[in-house]
């Protein structure tokens, strides 16, 4: 891991804690560098939602196949470890596999913008953060079957992972704190 990626992962810990996630112990065999979980009841999703963030640093040259394999493996990992009611019967699973790389390839950027796996009562929404530009890549469209939720997945991915979103949120929190002090 590079110094920049180590710094990013430390910041990611703090931001996901801000959004109510807890860090989980990760075995190197899992395939992820960091795993986070948040479980809560969401009325808009009709029950308990288990949300997992699985992050991994991949050096320059990561491919679409690398993303697909990582994303599928993290979805499977989260599905095995979630608890509660069966999916679709008062429970939902959302998995955000995140690849962090120093310089995203055009092939990987193209792949993630077209990769949209489909699951029953669950979502797998992979993203790729390019540390060199700070840009976050993910599926930009809304599939017909995901109409009710995909705008939220894009917004959450941006808020959870994009350094620019972290700056915007920090600035807004500072402004609110200054207003409250008056």
Tens digit of each residue's pLDDT (9 = 90 or more) over 75-91: 999 999 898 888 988 89
User: Per residue in 112-166, pLDDT tens?
Assistant: 999 999 999 899 999 999 999 999 999 998 777 777 788 999 999 999 999 999 8
In this predicted structure, what is the pLDDT of residue 182?
Answer: 63
Q: Which residues of 43-77 are buried (b: 16+ CB within 10 A; e: fewer)?
A: eebebbbbbbbbbbbbeeebebebbbebbebbbeb
**Distances 8 to 1, 78, 152, 163 between C-alpha atoms, Å:** 11, 23, 23, 8
Q: Is 106 exposed, middle or buried (0-12, 13-18, 19+ CB in 10 A)?
A: exposed
Q: How many Cβ atoms are within 10 Å of 111's Cβ, its own excluded?
A: 20
The structural domains of the chain, with segments of one domain joined by +, span 3-181
Give dist(CA 146, CA 75) in Å, integer: 17
Q: Which residue has the tokens 């990582």?
A: 70
* Paired tokens of 178: 């200054």
Instruction: Confirm whether pTM is higher than 0.85.
Output: yes
């Amino acid at each position: 891991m590079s110094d920049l990626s180590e710094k990013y992962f430390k910041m990611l810990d703090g931001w996901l804690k801000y959004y109510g996630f807890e860090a989980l112990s990760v075995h190197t065999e899992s395939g992820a560098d960091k795993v986070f979980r948040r479980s809560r009841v969401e009325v808009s999703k009709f029950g308990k939602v288990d949300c997992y963030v699985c992050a991994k640093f991949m050096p320059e040259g990561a491919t679409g196949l690398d993303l697909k394999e990582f994303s599928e493996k993290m979805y499977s990992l989260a599905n095995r470890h979630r608890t509660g009611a069966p999916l679709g019967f008062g429970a939902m699973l959302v998995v955000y596999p995140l690849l962090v790389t120093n310089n995203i390839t055009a092939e990987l950027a193209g792949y993630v913008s077209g990769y949209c796996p489909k699951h029953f009562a669950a979502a797998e929404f992979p993203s790729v953060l390019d540390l060199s530009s700070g840009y976050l890549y993910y599926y930009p469209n809304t599939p017909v079957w995901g109409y009710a939720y995909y705008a939220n997945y894009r917004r959450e991915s941006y808020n959870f992972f994009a350094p620019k979103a972290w700056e915007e949120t920090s600035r807004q929190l500072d402004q609110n704190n200054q207003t409250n002090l008056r």
